[in-house]
Each structure stands twice: as C-alpha cells, then as structure tokens.
Amino acid sequence: MKLPLRSFGTTHIRSPLWAILATAIVFSGITLAATNFSQLQQLAKKQYGEMALTTVSQWRLLIDSNKDAPDLEKIEKVNNFFNQRIRFRDDLLTWNEKDYWATPLETMGRRQGDCEDFSIAKYVTLQLMGVPIKKLRMTYVRARIGGPNSKVSQAHMVLSYYPEPTAIPMLLDNLITEIRPASRRPDLTPVFGFNSEGLWVGGASNPAINNPSSRLSRWRDMLSRMQQEGLQ
C-alpha cells in the first residue's frame, strides 16, 4: 500500500529494529568547537588539490557567516551550496564501490556524489550552523520516475527539515533543487528516516532497503572517517 505524503511525519518509534540500529547510529551531534577547519582545508589541498581547497574554504565561510541566520535561510543556502557545486555521480564511477557513503570533505574534494552524499553533507553543515538534530532527518524514499502515471520508482535519499515535530517537512533534494514541503512532492514515498536520536518508519509494502541495519553500518564507517578528517 502506498502511504500518503503525510507519513513523512509518522510517530517516532523505538522498535526491535531500532534496538538493532542503536550501535550503528552513534552520532551525538557536530559542534563548531570540535571542528578543525584548518585541518580540513589542509587535507582538501593535499588530497584533492587547489579546487577542493577553494570549495572547502567557501564552505567554511558559509558556516561562519550564517550561524545567526533563521533556519529557513540556512537550509536554503546550504541546499544551494551543494546542489550548485556537486555533480551527481554513481558510487561505482566515483569510488568503484556499489554503495559508499562519503564524508563532506570527500564529496567536496571529488565535487561529485550520489543522493546519500548530498544528504550527509547538508545534514552535517546544518548542524555546524546550529540547526538542532531533532529538526533534521535523512530520509529514504521511493522516487517515482517517468511522470505522474509511471509505475517505475527507484531508491533515493533526501534531507528532511521539520520546523516542528509534527509539521510537514521541507525536503532538501539534489533531483529537484527547489526546497519544497513534502506535500508538494507526490513523486516521493517515504520509507524510513533517521538521525542520531532515532528511527522513523514512513511505511511501504516493498521497502527500498531490505536490511537497514546493514546499510546504516555505512553511516558508522563514514563517521569514523569524518572524525579522522577533523569533524569531531
């Protein structure tokens, strides 16, 4: 059964599945105080070159100059920053792996990534700007392709921003660059969303991910690499 888009706001649950995922989701939030921007900039230049250094320096300026901006201004600027600078590219072509979750530095260094990479980079950046974790969820969806009458869909990830816990979220997407409320994205059917505080099930008869705990182990691996780069 295809759930209506209001299921983006389904109740937060703590199910046996969440118990399985608890060890994989260990991210308690990123703070400016624990972030070594100088190290990140040095790594960008060393590993990826001058263009990457420029991108990371622009990213740092984006964060520093918008910490006091309203949330809606923050999500607009962050969405535009990555959608304008990062090219969509499949993991097999970028990393020679079927499913690789890149750190923000890796994404900015390669200047390319897939939907998970866009979502992770936006999620981390908004936290560095001071947006509370409780307002952000990385959300797996089924994205309909081929028009409103199409039966074809594919797995996709977006970043959801919730102004209030029960509000219809605003969706930050790399497919449609305009930030829209979920009610204006009938092409997307939510499967589940997660952040460091829990797992939210959007519901679908045929989930995009049959083994979420296995998939989210990639999140844990990405966090480890991110910490080594200077994002603590």
Rounded Cα distance between 166 and 174, Å, is 24
Q: Which tens digits make up the pLDDT trace of 113-154?
A: 999 999 999 999 999 999 999 899 999 999 988 777 788 888
Note whether 170 and 163 are within 8 A (CB). yes
Taken in order 123, 225, 174, 66, the sign of the CA dihedral is positive
Q: Which CATH architecture has domain 5-229?
A: Roll (3.10)
CB 188 within 8 A of CB 5: yes
Q: Where in the chain are the domains?
A: 5-229
Mean pLDDT within 93-121: 96
Q: Which residues pair with 154 in a beta bridge?
A: 143
Closest CA to 109 of 47, 63, 62: 47
Compute the mean pLDDT over every residue in the chain, rounded to the nearest whole number: 82
pTM across the whole model: 0.82
Report the C-alpha gap between 2 and 8 in whole angstroms: 12
| Residues linked to residue 113 through DSSP beta bridges, in sequence order | 88
Say whether pLDDT at 232 is over 80: no
For residue 1, name the pLDDT band (cuts at 50, 70, 90). very low
